[in-house]
Amino acid sequence: MKKLLFAVLAMSLFVILPRASSAEQGYYMGYDVGKSSKGLSLKLSTNMPVGGMWVGVTVYSPKGKNLPVINQMFPLKQGNGTIEVDVDPTYKDGTFEAAIYAKKLSREECLATDEACQKAGYRLAYSTSYTWGYLSPQ
């Protein structure tokens, strides 16, 4: 009975103990959406404890418009950095996702059955931070 009680208590602590967030691990990514001479500007601010990582950005069209999904990626350096992504104004009021990845896998490092990686020639892997938002400048 004591063993069962101890096991239940140990599992409960594992479930309720807080886990370190990406900010506590030293990874930070914030964003701002504004206007630019080319339409919209998505500005990503990062703080990285190490270099060699990547940020992937995906832009989606607003509801009612059938625009293609846009994927872009950018290398990250150690320390504070800013990435400015120009977005066509037809994507205004659409959404975006951005994530920090630890590694960019080459086609050879991906599984042969990974169709997206085989087609693109790479895959970003091991996400450490994620954000999303609306492409609606203030």
- Encoded tokens for 120: 């693109």
For the chain, give the percent of residues with pLDDT over 70. Answer: 81
Instruction: Give buried/exposed letters for 108-124 (b at 16+ CB in 10 A, else e).
Output: eebeeeeeebeeeebbb
The pLDDT, as a whole number, for residue 1 is: 53
110 is in which domain, residue-wise?
A: 22-134
Tokens 């790479």 found at:
122
Residue 65 CA to residue 93 CA, distance in Å, equals: 11
**Domain assignment present for 5:** no
Domains contained in the chain, number: 1
CATH number at residue 92: 2.60.40
In this structure, is residue 1 part of a structural domain? no
> 10-24, 83-97, 100-114: lowest mean pLDDT where?
10-24
Return the residue matching tokens 């872009």.
Answer: 72
Q: What is the mean pLDDT of residues 118-131?
A: 93
6 lies in a domain?
A: no
Residue 4 lies in a domain: no
What pTM was estimated for this model as a whole? 0.76
